[in-house]
Structure 1
Amino acid sequence: MPPVELTWGAATAVGQREDNQDRYLAAPPVFAVADGMGGHAGGAAAAEAVVEALRSLTSGGTTTVEAIRLALQRADGEIRGFRGPDKAGAGTTVAGVALVDEGEGPQWAVFHVGDSRVYRWHEGCLEPVTRDHSVVQELLDAGYISDESAATHPQRHIITRALGVGPRPDADVVLYPVVPGDRYLACSDGLTGELADDRIAQLLLAGGDAQQVVMTLTAEAESVGARDNVTVVAVDVSHPGTSTGETAPR
C-alpha cells in the first residue's frame, strides 16, 4: 500500500435529550461511536465502557479483527456486570472503523453492533457499509415495508443486537481497502433519524475537512429538531502532505 495520511474529526450534540449518552473515540487506528441506552447513568456508562475497551487498541499503528472482537466482548461482559438501579438495563450500540493488518498490509475493518452506522464516501458517492441490527431493517430485508415507511415506522427504534443486553452479540465486521480520497463516517442514530442519506451526501459534497464536516452534520441535525443525541466521527484518507487538521501518517 502506498503511504497515506489520516485526518479525522468528531462532534457530538445533546439534542432534545436531558443529557448525552453517546460517546466516541477518534484515536488512530480506531474511530468509533457508541450510543448508550437505559437509565441516564447506565447508558452513558455502557457507551463509555465500549469506548474504553476500544481505546486499548490504540497503542500501535494497526490492530486486528480478533482484537476488535475481543475488546467488544470485554465491554459486553463489563456492562452485564453493572450493579445498581441507575444502571439496570444498560446497553449500547457501537459502530466504527479501524486500521487492521491481517497479514496483507493495512485494511479498514468496518465493525458494528446495533443501529449506529458507518458510511463510506468513495469517488463522490455515499455508500452505507453497515446494515442496522433492528426490527425495521429485518422488515425491509423481508420486503414487508418500503424505505419510505421505514423512517416513520413505530418500531424504528427497536434494535435486535446490542452490547450488554439480550443474547450475547457478535459484531459484524467487513474489510475494505485503504484508498486515498475515501472518507469514513461513523454516527449514532441521532444523525440518521433526522437526516436522510441523500441529505448527508449533499452536505459531504459541499466539502470541508473532516472536522468541518462533522460539525456541519451535527448542526444540521440540531436545526431540524435532533430528538436524540447526535454524534459523528469522520476519518479521511489522503496522500501525505495534501491534508489539513489532525493527522497521522500510515
Structure 2
Amino acid sequence: MREHRGFEALGQAVALAEPPLIESSARTDVGVHRRVNEDAVFADGGVYVVADGMGGHEAGDLASAAAIEPFRALAAAHGARDYRMVEATIELARRAVDTVSLRTERGAGCTLTGVVLIEHGGIPHWYVMNVGDSRVYLHSGAELTQLTVDHSLHAELLAEGRAEAADTPRNVITRALGSGDSRHDAWLLPVHAGGASWCALTG
C-alpha cells in the first residue's frame, strides 16, 4: 500500500448506546463552463465520497466515476467496517483511475474526498480522507470547519509562508488519483451523539 500521512485522532472517543442515525443527501451540477459533469458522488450506507475529474486531462468524468465505484461495494458490505477496509477501497479506486488513464493519450485523473463510518477500538469513528483539493467540512452549529488539507501548490506555498503563494493559481494540484503522487491523507474523528453535519465540496 502506498505511503500516506498517519492518522490524526480528533476529539475524544465515546461509546454510543445505539448506532448513529444518519440522514444524507447529495447533489452535483455541471456548472456553467463545462459541457460534461466531471464530478461523481456516492452517499449511502455510512459511505460519503466525492470525486472531481481533472479538467486539464482527458476523460475526467470517467476517472471520477471509476474512483467512486469501489465505494459502492464498501457500502454494501455486511458487518462492521474498519480502516483497513477503507484503505483497501482507496487502493482499488487508485487502480481503477490508473486503468482509465492508460486508455487516454494525455492521461486522466481526479480528486477524492469524503468520510466513511467505521469502528476503531470498538468505537464508531469517521474515517476522513482526501487526495487533491476537494474538501471535507464539519458543520457544527453556526461553525463550518475545513478538516482536510488541500494538496495544491497554493496551499503548500502558503503553509511554508512563501510570498509567491499570493500569485499562485489555486487550481494547480499536487496530488490526484491518476497522477504521479496519489497518496491520501486520513484522520479519525470519533462519532458524537447529537453530532454534526458534514459537507464535502469539490475543488
Q: Under TM normalisation by the shorter chain, which class is it?
A: 0.7 to 0.9
Cα deviation code 1:177-202 (max 9, x no counterpart): 1122301111102xxxxxxxxxxxxx
Equivalent residue, structure 2, for 1:138: 156
In structure 2, how many angstroms separate the alpha carbons of the residues matched to 1:146 and 1:65? 38
Cα deviation code 1:109-130 (max 9, x no counterpart): 1111000000001243111100
1:2-21 alignment to 2 at 5 Å? 2-3=17-18, 4-16=20-32, 17-21=34-38
Q: Percent identity?
A: 36
Tell me, yes or no, if the aligned pair for 1:95 and 1:113 is still in contact at 8 Å: yes
1:178 maps to 2:178:
no
Paired residues, what number?
183
Equivalent residue, structure 1, for 2:107: 89
Question: Given the two structures, how large is their TM-score scaled by the length of structure 2?
Answer: 0.82
Cα deviation code 1:191-237 (max 9, x no counterpart): xxxxxxxxxxxxxxxxxxxxxxxxxxxxxxxxxxxxxxxxxxxxxxx
1:160 alignment partner, SS class: coil
Tell me, yes or no, if the aligned pair for 1:21 and 1:40 is still in contact at 8 Å: no
Tell me, yes or no, if the aligned pair for 1:69 and 1:171 is still in contact at 8 Å: no
Equivalent residue, structure 2, for 1:33: 50
Equivalent residue, structure 1, for 2:12: none
Equivalent residue, structure 2, for 1:155: 169
- Of structures 1 and 2, the one scoring higher in RCO (CA 8 A, sep 6+) is 1
Q: What is the alpha-carbon root mean square deviation over aligned residues?
A: 2.1
Unaligned runs of 5+ in 2: 1-15
Closer, same or farther in 2 for the Cα pair 1:35/1:72, shift >3 Å? Answer: same
- Runs of 4 or more above 6 Å deviation: none
Tell me, yes or no, if the aligned pair for 1:31 and 1:98 is still in contact at 8 Å: yes
From the two aligned structures, give the one with the greater helix fraction.
1
1:1-250 alignment to 2 at 5 Å? 1-3=16-18, 4-16=20-32, 17-38=34-55, 42-59=59-76, 60=78, 62-82=80-100, 83-85=102-104, 88-145=106-163, 149=166, 153-167=167-181, 169-179=182-192, 180-189=194-203
In structure 2, how many angstroms separate the alpha carbons of the residues matched to 1:10 and 1:138? 30
In structure 2, what residue type is equivalent to 1:29? G
Closer, same or farther in 2 for the Cα pair 1:63/1:22, shift >3 Å? Answer: same
In structure 1, how many angstroms separate the alpha carbons of the residues matched to 2:174 and 2:65? 21
Cα deviation code 1:18-59 (max 9, x no counterpart): 110100000121001100125776211111111101111112
